[in-house]
Copies of this chain bind each other. A is one copy, B any other.
Amino acid sequence: MTYSALLTDLYELTMLAGYHDQGMHQRPAAFDLFFRHNPFRGGYAVFAGLDTALSFLEELSFKSDELAYLDSLKIFKPAFLNYLSEFRFTGKVTAPPEGTVVFGGEPLLTVEGGLAEAQFVETALLNIINFQTLAATKAARIKIAAGAATVLEFGLRRAQGPDGGLSGARAAFIGGVRSTSNVLAGMRYGIPVRGTHAHSWIMAFPDELTAFRTYAKEFPDSCVLLIDTYDTLQSGLPNALIVARELKERGHDLAGVRIDSGDLAYLSRQVRAAFDEAGFPGVKIVASNELDEHVIESMRREGSRIDIYGVGTRLATCAGEGGGALGGVYKLVSMNGEAKLKLTSDVAKATLPDRKKVLRAIAPDGSFILDLIALQDEEVLPGTVVFDPANPVRHVRIPEQARLVDLRRMVMENGRRCLPTPDLESSADLASAQLQLLPEGCLRLVNPHIYKVSISAGVNTLRLKLMTRIQSKYRI
C-alpha cells in the first residue's frame, strides 16, 4: 500500500512551513514515539507496524496534484511548495523489531533528522504504529486465552474500513492469531487463509442436508459445515453426522463443524460427544459469535470442547478498555543537541528528555526482570540503582547477575532501511517467545502484575534539572 504524503494533519504542514520560512527546518532534532499505558489495562503490548511505517518513510513524497491542492488552500508560500516538491525523509529511525513485547513509557520509535522532516512524519507514524500495536496486543490476549486451541481472525466485515481489516490481520498474525479469512491479507502478507460457508449457503438449497452434501462434494478435504442455521442439535448435528459417514465411505474426512449461535460451551460438549460416539474424534469444532479473550477464557473454564475460535468484530476493532485506540504520542526530546522536556499539569507524566536507549534486564534463565530507559551514551551496569519514572525517590537495584540487552537498533539511516526486514513469521515467533518470559501474572487478563519500567540515574537527573528550569522560568 502506498500512503499519500497528505495523510497527515494540517498542522504538520503549517509547522513545516513555519520552520522552513524561519530557516529552522534543518536543525537536528529527535522525537520519541511512545504510549503511556498498556492497552486493555493489560500487562504488556506487542510492538507492530514497523515495516509498514518504514515503507511509508521510504516512499514519502509530494505528488504534483497534492501540491496543487495545497496551493489551492492559499495558506502556503510558493517557496515552501517548491521545497515540498523536493521533500523526502532522509533521517534515521531506531526501533525494536516487530513482535517485541513492550510497555507503557518506553520509546518505541526514535526519529532523528532535520526538525522539519522528523516533525512532519508524526501523524502517519502514529496512525500506523498505534493501530497495529493495539491489534497485535489484542490478538496476543485472545491467543493466550485460547490456550492450545487455534484462533482464526475473520473481522473484515466489521473492521474500521478496508485497511482496518488488512493491517489488522497483519498485526493479529504478529500477535499470535496466525490465520485469517481475509483473502487480500493472505495474498499480501502470506497469512494462511481459512473459511467455509455462510448461512445463506444453507438457505440457497431446498434443505440443510442437501446443502451440506453439496458443500462436502465441492470441498471433500476441507469441509467445515455450519450447523446452526435451523437448530444445532436437532438438525445441524444429525445432518453433519450423515455427511461425515458419507464422506468416509468415499475416503474423505469431514474437517469440522462450526457453531455460530447459542450457548457455545454447552453445544460444543454435545457435538463433541456425538462425533466421538459415532467414531469421528478428528472432526474439529469451530465456534464463533462475538468472541473475545474474556468470553474464551470463561468458556474454557467451564469445559468447552472448542478446537478453533473464530474471532471477528472484537479483534478487528480492538474492542475493550481504551475505546479501540492506543494513545501513542510523538514528542520532541532533543533539538540542536539540547535535551527537550514537555511538562504537563501532572509532573509524573513529564516526558523523558534527550536521546535514549531501552535496556531489558534478563535473568540467567532468560526471564525478563525489568526494563530500563537510559541516556543514549550512558553506561549502565548490572547492580546499578534505577528509578521509578512516576516517583523520583523510589528506586530499585538491577540484580548483579542480570544481562542488559538493548531492545532497539537502528533500522533506517539516511531515509533508507539499513537492516533486512524480518518476515512476519519471525515476528510472530518473537512475540510468542517473549510473552513466555514475562514475570508471572503479567499475562493475566484482568489486574495483571505490572512489569517494572525504570529510568536510569542519568535520565532521572536530567529530567529533574529541566523540570526545575522550566518551572522557575514560567513561575509554575
Interface residues of A (CB under 8 A from B): 1, 3-4, 6-15, 17-19, 21-22, 24, 27, 29, 31, 65-66, 69-70, 73, 75, 115, 119, 122-124, 126-128, 130-131, 154, 156-168, 181-184, 186-187, 193-201, 203-204, 207-208, 214-215, 218-219, 222, 229-231, 234-235, 261-262, 313-314, 316-320, 323-328, 331-332, 335, 340, 342-345, 470, 473-476
How far, in Å, is A143 (CB) from chain B's closest CB? Answer: 19
Q: Known contacts being A161-B161, A184-B7, is A14 close to B335, with CB within 8 Å?
A: no
Once the chains bind, are B200 and A262 in contact (CB under 8 Å)? Answer: no
Determine the chain B residues whose CB is within 8 A of the CB of A17 once the complex forms: 218
Question: A335 contacts which of B69, B204, B320 (Cβ < 8 Å)?
Answer: B204
Question: A194 contacts which of B10, B124, B183 (Cβ < 8 Å)?
Answer: B10
Question: A15 contacts which of B119, B161, B186, B198 (Cβ < 8 Å)?
Answer: B198
Between A and B, 15 residue pairs with Cβ closer than 8 Å are A10-B193, A15-B198, A31-B200, A65-B187, A122-B157, A127-B165, A128-B162, A130-B158, A158-B327, A160-B318, A161-B167, A230-B343, A230-B476, A234-B474, A319-B325
Once the chains bind, are A166 and B230 in contact (CB under 8 Å)? Answer: no
Once the chains bind, are A317 and B325 in contact (CB under 8 Å)? Answer: yes
Q: Give the complex CA separation of A7 and B193 in angstroms.
A: 12
Q: Give the complex CA separation of A187 and B8 in angstroms.
A: 12
How far, in Å, is A422 (CB) from chain B's closest CB? Answer: 21
How far, in Å, is A141 (CB) from chain B's closest CB? Answer: 14
Determine the chain B residues whose CB is within 8 A of the CB of A75 once the complex forms: 219, 222
Once the chains bind, are B3 and A162 in contact (CB under 8 Å)? Answer: yes
- Known: A127-B162, A207-B473, A317-B325; 20 extra A-B contacts, CB below 8 A, are A7-B165, A7-B184, A9-B157, A9-B182, A9-B195, A10-B195, A11-B197, A17-B218, A19-B204, A21-B218, A66-B187, A73-B186, A123-B156, A127-B157, A130-B157, A131-B161, A160-B164, A208-B474, A235-B476, A323-B324
Once the chains bind, are B158 and A160 in contact (CB under 8 Å)? Answer: no
Determine the chain B residues whose CB is within 8 A of the CB of A215 once the complex forms: 18
How far, in Å, is A229 (CB) from chain B's closest CB? Answer: 7
Question: A197 contacts which of B15, B203, B204, B319 (Cβ < 8 Å)?
Answer: B15
Q: Known contacts being A332-B203, A335-B204, is A166 close to B161, with CB within 8 Å?
A: yes
| Copies of the protein in its oligomer | 2
Question: A196 contacts which of B11, B66, B124, B194 (Cβ < 8 Å)?
Answer: B11
Once the chains bind, are B66 and A14 in contact (CB under 8 Å)? Answer: no
How far, in Å, is A348 (CB) from chain B's closest CB? Answer: 14
How far, in Å, is A98 (CB) from chain B's closest CB? Answer: 16
Question: A235 contacts which of B128, B335, B474 (Cβ < 8 Å)?
Answer: B474
How far, in Å, is A227 (CB) from chain B's closest CB? Answer: 12
Determine the chain B residues whose CB is within 8 A of the CB of A342 once the complex forms: 199-200, 203, 229
Once the chains bind, are A157 and B126 in contact (CB under 8 Å)? Answer: yes
Determine the chain B residues whose CB is within 8 A of the CB of A12 once the complex forms: 195
How far, in Å, is A417 (CB) from chain B's closest CB? Answer: 20
How far, in Å, is A221 (CB) from chain B's closest CB? Answer: 9
Once the chains bind, are A14 and B195 in contact (CB under 8 Å)? Answer: yes
How far, in Å, is A41 (CB) from chain B's closest CB? Answer: 15
| Minimum-distance CB pairs A-B, first 7 | A10-B195, A319-B323, A11-B195, A161-B163, A126-B157, A163-B163, A160-B160
Determine the chain B residues whose CB is within 8 A of the CB of A197 once the complex forms: 11, 14-15, 18
Q: Give the complex CA separation of A345 and B263 in angstroms.
A: 10
